[in-house]
Amino acid sequence: MEDCVFCRIIRRELPADVVYEDEQVLAFKDINPQAPTHVLVVAKKHLASLDDLPAETDEKLAAGIFSGIQKTAARLGVSGGYKVVTNCGEAAGQVVGHLHFHILAGKKFVP
């Protein structure tokens, strides 16, 4: 059983403002928002980063994560106007070592 902060949120051991959930993902508001809408879509399976996603051997998981991102955006009412970011590794600014995707919306972004 993983002890990381996102696994603990998934197990409901820590609180979070959940906006969407399905078999593969849990989506909740970022505690330190960088945009008017800032939600994290977190894989329920503990994977350290995108590098660890078995995209070729577990297509169901990979597809489920992207479906979860789409559905979270729809739930938030931002479909057609949002940015998705995943930080892969410390050098890219990854702080929480559990695969997650930031959904950001509601402001102008510089690429």
Q: Which does 95 bind (CB under 5 to 8 A by kind): ligand AMP, Zn ion, none?
A: ligand AMP
Cα–Cα distance for residue pair 47/53, rounded to 1 Å: 7
The smaller minimum CB distance to ligand AMP, of residues 57 and 110, is found at 110
* Amino acid at position 74, single letter: A
* Smallest distance, ligand AMP to C-beta of residue 51, A: 14
* Amino acid at position 96, single letter: V
**3-state DSSP helix/strand/coil % of the chain, to nearest 5:** 25, 25, 50
Choice among 38, 46, 98, 100 that is catalytic: 100
102 flagged as catalytic: no
Q: Which residues bind ligand AMP (CB under 6 A)?
A: 5, 14, 16, 30-32, 40, 87, 93-96
Cα–Cα distance for residue pair 72/39, rounded to 1 Å: 9
Q: Which does 93 bind (CB under 5 to 8 A by kind): Zn ion, ligand AMP, none?
A: ligand AMP
**Catalytic residue numbers?**
100
